Amino acid sequence: MELIGERVIPASRQRTWEALNDPDTLKACITGCESLEREGDDGLVALVAVRVGPVSARFKGKLKLSDVVAPVSYTIHFDGQGGVAGFGKGSADVALSDAGTGRTTLKYVARAQVGGKLAQIGSRLVDSAAAKIAEDFFQAFETRLREETGVAPTEDDEARATRLRLERARRNTVRLGWAVALLFGAFIIYRSTR
C-alpha cells in the first residue's frame, strides 16, 4: 500500500516541524490514540485503537525517525502489533517547504504492509481506511495549528481541499463499482450452477 499526499499547513515551517515532533499535538490529532510517549531522542511509542471494516484492535507500535534534516524533512519508520488482528509496518518520507504568508507545504509518501486478519479483509478496504485515518489526522492537525496561529484559509487552500475531496469520492465510487461488479458476477455464477 502506498499513500502520497500534499497539504498546506497554516503555520510557519518551524512551527509545523515543532508540532510534527510534539507527542501531545500528535496524540490529540490521531483518532483513537490512547497514548503517545517519547522514547529516546528519535522515537515514540504509541497505543492506538483502530477499526478497519470488521476488525477492531489496539495496536502498540514504535515509531523511529531517520534521515532528519530539521526543519526540512525526515523519514519515520513504524512497526505496530495488534495481537490477533495482525500487524502493520512501513515508513513515510515527510518534507516541508515554505508556502508563503505563514504557510507550509507538507508532502508525504507512505508505504505500509499489513498482515494477519487485516490482510485477509482485502487491500481496498485497508487502503480506504488508511486514507481516512490520514485525512482525519491532517484535518485535525491543520485545525489545531489554524486556531493557534489565526491564519485563515485562502481560496487556493479551499480549492485544493475541494479537489482532494472530489478525488477521494471518485476513488471510493470506483471501489464501490468494483465491489458491485464482483458481487453481481458471483451471483450470476451461483445462479448458473444451480
Are residues 103 and 78 part of one domain?
Answer: yes
Residue 185's identity, in one-letter code, is G
Same domain, 58 and 105: yes
Position 180 scores a pLDDT of: 55
Residues 93 and 177 in one domain: no
Given this model, what pLDDT does residue 82 score? 85
Residue 37's pLDDT is what?
A: 95
In a shared domain, residues 51 and 140: yes
Q: Which residues are registered as beta bridge partners of 91? A: 77, 111
Q: Are residues 134 and 166 in the same domain?
A: no
Average pLDDT for consecutive 10-residue bins of the chain (194 residues)?
A: 90 95 94 93 92 84 94 94 86 93 92 84 79 88 90 68 66 56 56 55
Considering the domain architecture, whether residues 158 and 147 belong to the same structural domain is answered as: no
Pairwise CA distance, residues 188 & 167, whole Å? 32
Q: Tell me how many helices (H) and strands (E) the chain has.
A: 5, 7
The answer to whether residues 75 and 90 belong to one domain is yes
Query: Which cell numbers in the block locate residue 95?
Result: 518534507
C-alpha cell at 175: 471501489
Do 186 and 133 belong together in one domain? no
- Cβ atoms of residues 58 and 48 within 8 Å: yes
| Residue 35 shares a structural domain with residue 80 | yes
Rounded Cα distance, 20 and 15, in Å: 9
pLDDT at 117: 82
State the pLDDT at residue 67: 96
CA angle, residues 83, 88, 92, in degrees to nearest 5: 155
Structural domain including 60 reads: 2-153
Same domain, yes or no: 105 and 179: no
Residues 141 and 192 in one domain: no
As for how many domains the chain has, the answer is: 2
**Contact indicator for 75, 65 with CB cutoff of 8 Å:** yes
